[in-house]
Chain A
């Protein structure tokens, strides 16, 4: 995915370079027509404006096309009076120039107005698209987010949408302008002189041929360059991320050598790509000049024979010079359009993902007692893969359930099911006797509170972060929650206190402090049932003690599911669920499980066997 991105041109002040679109390889969309139709649907609400823009573009271009011909009239008049030795007809020339000035002014105004209107059309269209994505994200099931990398989703929502925006802003007008110009110029040239037109058009097939062949080769080299560049970036990223190891194991030389190999390859493909893509423009220019000379010579001869006026030749030269412009532009725009449609396709793909089943029964639980039952639950993430089969668990109000097992045993699966991030495949889960699928998701989730190891805090103040689970909480309530979570003290030592803004990665507070904040958040939300993760890695022992105390306080009087790492928690739990390879392999109390002598017993003794002898 990232390699594709690197190929994207930087958008800058002057928009996209003209010849670049040709030189770069282009991604082909799968269903061009359908996607364009759908994209057009987004522009539809603004179609009136679009029609106006297109009309103006056509008119403005038409003005541009007539002006050389009119200017030619002035030249002819000058030439005639010069040749005949008479005085210049200033009145006539003034007339022509005023008309010309008027045309230029109008065409510039039109041009400005188009772009001005198009800015709103393009941006508002893209706004709608983003909002659709926004609404869609809220309806997508967790499965989608678990199955796609953040980078992939981000790139669809930002880069792809951005491509669409740029194309709407620039390329549509360009396409119309180019088309009108192509036809208009051809007509004008034919009007002036079919013979000269023939001379000028000799170069057109040549121009096509050259562009085609050079562009294909250039695209090949660019693709290769992109690939090597990806390789190089990968190596750099890897070596820098593992810098400490490279140093510790004295591998600097090898790393540099490997880098140099890729670097050399990059140089080799790089200069070729740059060179070949760089020849497109000069070759086109030469072909242009070829036409220019041809027209100059033929025109000159025709003038001497009196078959054509000098002003017309001048106009014709200008036409001939402009003629290749729309041709190469059109090719370029088609490439851009293809890339855009491919981008749109990716955005639509996201919009077409299947959604969460909407809440059908709208039951609500107001004051939950916190009784949870798993009744013959069957579940697997993928079809045909069963992780849990006929699972029965009964948890009464206020009980503690400890979930134990090796890392990666799938302890989050239980969280996923309880919170209805995923739905069970068979059987049912009930809270206070009600099937959770009959509850509104919102109502179900408000019963639960979560404190996970992966502490999620957002870019905002500490106060906002604690109040996240209870919008509208007063400062007093927030402080009370923070105090209960043993977080109040450290918050007050921060420069901004409760108004300290956590930066993007929340790197201005420690891991343990983050955990305390998430506990405070859960305390403030005051849920009937808790889901806790005891794992506290990278936390110093004093903060760990605080976290432990805060968690104990939080658990008091609530039904709790604890992903347990402490023996004390495990032993005091009312029920232990032992997980292994994604499934619950044993359940029971500490005593029962030890007596059974199964997986849990083995786990327990292996951990504490060495300790007894110490």
Chain B
């Protein structure tokens, strides 16, 4: 919590104002029973109607004042909490945007999304509740006790008995119920898991005639959940009655002892009535305070999760004085590059050296985990090498600014991802200022023009979030267009043709040949057909280069390459 406190700093004054208002409101609440006692003890006893009306008027003013205070307090606390949430959200989002893949993958996409949405909302709600209730309750508690003492010290001893009793009862129930609540959540998750598996596996389940089995599995989870839910609710059932009984029995005790005090002339009836109300205020605020113990742990989990992100500093930073890259060109050179993913035992790449220049197509092939995508990630400086160096146009990528480096690169990732917006805005993602003509040209080269023309709205057709309204192959073509419109010096196609059928794949590659003619092109692929024509094929195996050369050369010299080729083509197609 402490770390997040400085986000509250700009709102310190408003927060203090909110607390002040709440404090005043508490005072007004405490003052009312005193005034009532006055009505009884002075007004009624003396039969003074004028006094009663006067005090009544004061009571009204006090009540109105209290209400205005609480509304003012609410206004301020709403602004403070929302402002705090906004600032925190912005900082968190900005921090995540600064993350390189290393930090980003440490948390995972899903987790980062929850942290920046749900967790912040939780903390914001907590702050609001804290300012609105958690502060007033202890105040009320203390104020109530003071007022009770001021009425009658002797009688206040009843409170000393009542408070611990109530607290103990509530704590006991809470301690029993809280673990059960967690258990219930687990069982609910289990039920959801079974159901989700059922939905995703529906074809397999029906194909293997296992519907009955799945039904039983669901039933078991259901039974389990129901049993726990019944238990939880039965324990919770005791909570309110126990609290109410404690309150009520305290009242009875107070009247009993109070009547003795009155009998001995140490107390007036109005005092007793006021006293009763104070005790109620005290006990109610006690119940509110006990809520703290439920809410604080929940919020603190969120706080910790937010802090983890804020505490993570991206490792990849721009150098203080970035060196400008050499003349435009796009020459890429790997010098003895070795890289290990954090936490991994073995390096993902080791001793990688090669160089590629404009006008050349370099293909990278190898099995899963051979380090193909890592190579791309290093070129883009999503990670920094452990040893060796990567040079682009003669400058070490670590000495350039990330912006300038990436400006040179058109990257098509393995998983094509589209943003919500129009088709055109997705292509323009690659180059902000691209003209309509340039966008169209890129789409044509990526063989996307035809299907775009078929969309309602053409280039202005809406892409839904996550690109769910276009097929995998269409997504991939738009992703290629996005890279093309950038007119970069270096292209990286990371398995970018996998969702295309043979025919489109061939057409795209033919068109690309023209479009990318003056650039340095890297093609990472699984299909031999895609890489066969490259100027240079790099065969990766277990993070090392086991062969560099053309298709023909490698067929002769590289056993791993031959194996890959054989698994995909029949003998006669190889030649």
Contact = CB atoms under 8 A, between A and B. Distances in A.
Contacts of A270: 78, 82, 85-86
A135 B215 contact: yes
Interface string A224-242: 0000010011101111111
Interface in B68-91: 70-71, 74-75, 77-79, 81-83, 85-86, 89-90
Interface string A267-308: 100111011001100110110011011101100110110000
Contacts of A115: 233-234, 236-238, 240-241
B262 A88 contact: yes
A348 interface: no
A286 B64 contact: yes
Interface string B265-306: 000110011000000000000000001001000100000000
Nearest to A99: B252
Interface in B406-427: 406-407, 409, 411, 413, 417, 419-420
A223 B50 CA distance: 50
Contacts of B113: 233, 236-237, 240
12 contacts: A13-B291, A115-B233, A130-B222, A142-B203, A237-B113, A243-B96, A266-B82, A300-B52, A407-B500, A539-B368, A544-B567, A603-B502
Interface string A404-438: 01111000000100010100000000000000000
Contact of B63 (A243, A290, A537): A290
A119 B237 contact: yes
B472 interface: yes
A134 interface: yes
Contacts of B32: 289, 292
Central interface residue in A78, A240, A292, A567, by most chain B CB within 10 Å = A240
Contacts of A471: 210, 213
B201 A293 contact: no
B458 interface: no
Contacts of A252: 97-98
Nearest to A440: B209
Contact of A419 (B53, B206, B262): B206
A435 to B, nearest CB: 19
Interface stretch (B37-45, B139-147, B356-364): B37-45
A266 B195 CA distance: 34
A296 B59 contact: yes
A95 B322 CA distance: 91
Contact of B202 (A145, A233, A263): A145
Nearest to A264: B86
A202 interface: no
B275 to A, nearest CB: 12
B411 A248 contact: yes
A122 interface: yes
B167 interface: no
B85 to A, nearest CB: 7
A244 interface: yes
Given A88-B262, A259-B93, A445-B207, A13 B241 contact: no
B263 interface: yes
Given A123-B230, A445-B209, A137 B259 contact: no
B78 A275 contact: yes
Interface string A451-473: 01000101100000000110100
Interface stretch (A325-333, A484-492, A604-612): A604-612
Central interface residue in B63, B100, B177, B192, by most chain A CB within 10 Å = B63
B26 interface: no
B573 interface: yes
Given A88-B259, A150-B200, A249-B430, A314 B273 contact: yes
A252 to B, nearest CB: 5
A541 B563 contact: yes
A255 to B, nearest CB: 6
B513 to A, nearest CB: 10
B197 A290 contact: no
A541 B63 CA distance: 79
A445 B208 contact: yes
A409 B532 CA distance: 27
B229 A468 contact: no
B394 interface: no
Taking chain B's interface residues, is the majority helix, strand, or loop, or is none over half, making it mixed? helix
B233 A123 contact: yes
Contacts of B203: 142, 415, 419, 421, 450, 452, 456
Nearest to B233: A119
A158 B191 CA distance: 9
Contacts of A88: 259-260, 262-263
A43 to B, nearest CB: 15
A407 B473 contact: yes
A446 B209 contact: yes
A94 B419 CA distance: 76
Interface in A148-185: 150, 153-154, 157-158, 162, 165, 169
A290 B60 CA distance: 7
Please tell me the size bucket of the interface on A: 35 or more
B109 A610 contact: no
A127 B563 CA distance: 57
A397 to B, nearest CB: 20
A101 B429 contact: no
Contacts of A82: 262, 268-269
Nearest to B502: A607
Interface string A579-614: 000000000000000000000001100111111001
Nearest to A288: B63
A251 B526 contact: no
A79 interface: yes
Contacts of B233: 115, 118-119, 122-123, 169
A608 B209 CA distance: 41
A126 interface: yes
A286 B56 contact: no
B112 interface: yes
Contacts of A459: 193, 197
A42 interface: no
Given A236-B117, A256-B94, A304 B52 contact: yes
Contact of B252 (A101, A150, A248, A468): A101
Contacts of A109: 241
A234 B40 CA distance: 61
A13 B174 contact: yes
B526 A537 contact: yes
Contacts of A338: none
A123 B226 contact: yes
Contacts of B509: 610
B498 A241 contact: no
Interface in B202-247: 202-204, 206-215, 218-219, 222-223, 226, 229-230, 232-234, 236-238, 240-242, 244-245
A154 B196 contact: yes
A612 to B, nearest CB: 9
Contacts of A458: 197, 201
A239 B222 contact: no
Contacts of A162: 188
A542 interface: yes
B564 interface: yes
Contacts of B94: 256
A417 B69 CA distance: 70
B199 A238 contact: no
A510 to B, nearest CB: 7
A310 interface: yes
B230 A119 contact: yes
A545 interface: yes
Contacts of B128: 274
Given A87-B263, A154-B192, A97 B207 contact: no
Given A249-B430, A421-B206, A607-B529, A111 B244 contact: yes
Contact of B499 (A112, A137, A407): A407
A492 to B, nearest CB: 19
Q: 4 tightest CB-CB pairs across the interface, nearest first?
A: A540-B367, A115-B237, A406-B501, A297-B56
A448 B109 contact: no
